[in-house]
Amino acid sequence: MDQPIHRFSELFAQLGLPADAPAIAQFIAAHAPLAADIDLPDAPFWTPAQSAFLREEKLEDADWAELVDQLSLALRQPGPGA
């Protein structure tokens, strides 16, 4: 059986965040770079529910896990002024 394929914008919607391209870019710019020693779910800008979702998806290698990894990578890139 094929696994569902989700888009990056759908991950933002799942997290209860604005999911249009400019909002996603603004979120990443506002929170990057995330230090390498901080696990994505432990970042201070998540609500407890968002943090739990991110942690569970990775632990269970669930449908969203690949996008959670992509978000983690995006947040670890230096910002435009770096």
Instruction: Please write the tens of the pLDDT for every residue from 14-66.
Output: 999 999 999 999 999 999 999 999 999 999 999 999 999 999 998 888 888 99
Q: What's the pLDDT at 48? A: 98
Q: 66 φ, ψ to 5°? A: -65, -40
Q: 44 φ, ψ to 5°? A: -70, -10
Q: What's the pLDDT at 45? A: 97
Is residue 10 over pLDDT 50?
yes
Walk me through the domains of the chain, giving residue ranges and CATH numbers.
Answer: 39-82 (1.10.10.1130)
Is residue 1 over pLDDT 60?
no
Q: What's the pLDDT at 43? A: 97
Q: What's the pLDDT at 21? A: 95
- The answer to whether 70 touches 26, Cβ cutoff 8 Å, is no
CA distance 69 to 28: 14
